[in-house]
Every structure is written in C-alpha cells, then in structure tokens.
C-alpha cells in the first residue's frame, strides 16, 4: 500500500457561504500511488438535506491505469497548530474510485455543521484547514507498474549479430584459408553446436 496526504486551506470562508447547494470549490491536485486526486469543498452542502452542513469529497481526478482504484481515506479538520480535531475526523472504509464517473468521488455529506456556535469553534480568522490522508491498495500500484513496462521486441538474433560484428567479448578466434581471422563467442558456439560444446567445455577440451 502507498499512503499520502494533502491539506486544503479554505481562506475567506465567509465569501463562499451562499454559493448555493451542490456548488463546490476544488483544491489543487496531488498524487498518491501514481493517481491524481483532489479535495472538493461544498460550503452549502451536497443537496437540500445537507444544506446546513459543510461537505467534503475526495475525488479521483485522473489515473494512468484503466479500471477502478481501491483506496481508503481519512478527512480531518485541523486546529490552529495543524493537529486533527477528533470530533471532526472521520475514516472511511476501503472504497472504489472510477475517474470521470459518479463513482470517482467519495466523501462526507455532514462533516461540519454550519450552526453559528460550531462555526465559531472551528473557523478562525475566516479560515479552516482540512487534511485528507489517502491509502491506495498495493494491488493497484502493482498493476500500474506492470502495465507501464515495455517488453522489448524479439530481435535477439540481430543483437547477437551486432555483437559478433563488433568483436566485443570475443574469446575464440577462427583462422580460415588465406590466414583470415574471425572472432567468435564460445558460449554462442556451444549453444548452437554440440560439437563445439564438447570441444570448448566438455571432454574434448584441449
């Protein structure tokens, strides 16, 4: 598993109040496990049933792999010194995210009440901070890596020919009629001919 986090700082909170239900403000993107994520802040709730609450989503912005991403996450409201406030910290079970669909977002419809006494407790100087910790399953990372690997084309014969032409690593020399000398590689000769194998590595070694 791979874990990372991002902190969304909401400055000028009062100017977002009244943005209207289901309208969101997005954080900058961040990367965990090779996938791109962002946090969405709904100052007036998801819908009419949560209009009196501040709602927070984790959104899978983009993934280089096809299919879904399995991840667990925790949303925490931070105090003035950057520490989580237990009454406003929620951990979600493992969820499936699919970028570009409704399943690309998961979150909490009622994280912070917009009642005046609650707002005065958690919002200081018209600001508050939300930290999101994300853990992506190892299987997702492994699949991402395996799909990114490039398998070389089956051209070993060409590479061996280039090695022979360069005479690099040649450890056998043939002398043919006329005195011409040709370098070769004993491992290749032994692999291609049982006679050479016996002469170079077996009982016929001289």
DSSP for the chain, written as a single string: -EEEEEEEEEESHHHHTTS-TT--EE---EEETTEEEEEEEETT-SSGGGTTEEEEEEEEEE-SSSS-EEEEEEEEEE-TTS-EEEEEEEEEEEEEE-TTSGGGEEEEEEEEE--HHHHHHH-BTTEEEEEEEEEE-HHHHHHHHHHHPPPPPS-HHHHHHHHHHHTTT--EEEE-GGG-EEEE-HHHHHHH-HHHHHHHHSTT--
pLDDT of residue 140: 47
Comparing 31 with 178, the larger pLDDT belongs to 31
137-166 pLDDT tens trace = 865 444 544 445 556 667 777 777 777 777
What topology is assigned to 2-148 in CATH? 2.60.210
pLDDT above 50 for 178: yes
Domain boundaries in the chain? 2-148, 156-201
Task: Specify the pTM.
Answer: 0.61
pLDDT above 70 for 68: yes
């Amino acid at each position: 598993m791979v874990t990372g986090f991002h902190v969304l700082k909401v400055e000028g909170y009062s100017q977002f109040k009244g943005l209207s239900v289901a309208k969101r403000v997005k954080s900058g993107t961040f990367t965990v496990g090779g996938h791109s994520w962002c946090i969405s802040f709904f100052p007036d709730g998801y819908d009419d049933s949560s209009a009196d609450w501040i709602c927070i989503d984790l959104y899978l912005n983009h993934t280089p792999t096809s299919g879904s991403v399995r991840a667990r996450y925790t949303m925490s409201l931070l105090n003035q010194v950057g520490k989580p406030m237990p009454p406003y910290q929620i951990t979600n079970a493992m969820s499936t995210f699919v970028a570009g669909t409704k399943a690309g977002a998961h979150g909490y419809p009622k994280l912070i009440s917009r009642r005046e006494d609650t707002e005065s407790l958690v919002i200081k100087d018209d600001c508050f901070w939300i930290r999101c910790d994300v853990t992506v399953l190892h299987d997702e990372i492994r699949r991402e890596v395996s799909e990114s690997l490039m398998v070389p084309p089956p051209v070993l014969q060409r590479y061996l020919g280039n090695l022979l032409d360069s005479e690099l690593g040649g450890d056998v020399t043939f002398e043919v009629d006329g005195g011409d000398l040709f370098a070769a590689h004993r491992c290749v000769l032994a692999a291609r001919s049982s006679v050479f194998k016996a002469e170079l590595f077996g009982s016929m070694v001289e």
